[in-house]
Amino acid sequence: MPDSIERCLEAVLTAPFYLGQILIQKITTGLFVLLHRDDESVDQLKSFRSAEDAIEIAKHDDAGNYRPLKTAPNLRHGWRLELATLEELRRALDYFYPGRLAVFAARKKRKLQPSSFRETLDRHRTVRLLQSLPRPGDLRPRICRVELRDKRPVQGGEPLAPRTGREQHFDEISGAVSPDIGEIQDER
């Protein structure tokens, strides 16, 4: 028994139908024919007869480069896929465009619930915030020795601050000596 996705497909297959870069036709013999939409008038196409062949067709573009994003508009040309059943058609389309048939069926039933851009951002910020929270070991107080580079005795009226001049180092300006990287890693 066909499910809701297959029923939606049956309803639109009365005429040639485009899904992404794929032209889908139901021919008089009952076969479903899929081909690249640009190859509609091309006669010399390589024929395939299994839904699983869609995996290999969708894997590379015309130049032979791997297609990591299956919805990118770089589907290779020169093929014709003939399928006998609606279930095979569904599988093949899922191999070409994973998840698109479910979205298509939800849209046809008017059950597609869009989310606002603000809601999407808020969901992602929460994940990013949780990933950036400090670990429990990071919250321990650390004791660092503070030394001034100049070890001469303080003169009367002289402020207790690092000396200023061209030859200052970062730890002289901040007034602290940075901890050793190895010490930090050992504490974790």
Model confidence at 112, in pLDDT bands (50, 70, 90)? confident
With tokens 């999407």, the residue in question is 120
> Could you tell me the fold of the domain covering 4-108?
Gyrase A; domain 2 (3.30.1360)
Q: Radius of gyration (Cα) for the chain, nearest Å?
A: 33
Each domain of the chain, given as residue ranges in start order, spans 4-108
Number of separate helices (H) and strands (E) present in the chain? 7, 5
pLDDT, tens digit, 9 for 90 and up, residues 55-108 = 999 999 999 999 999 889 999 999 999 999 888 998 999 999 998 888 888 887
pLDDT, tens digit, 9 for 90 and up, residues 119-162 = 877 777 655 555 565 666 666 665 555 555 555 555 555 555 55
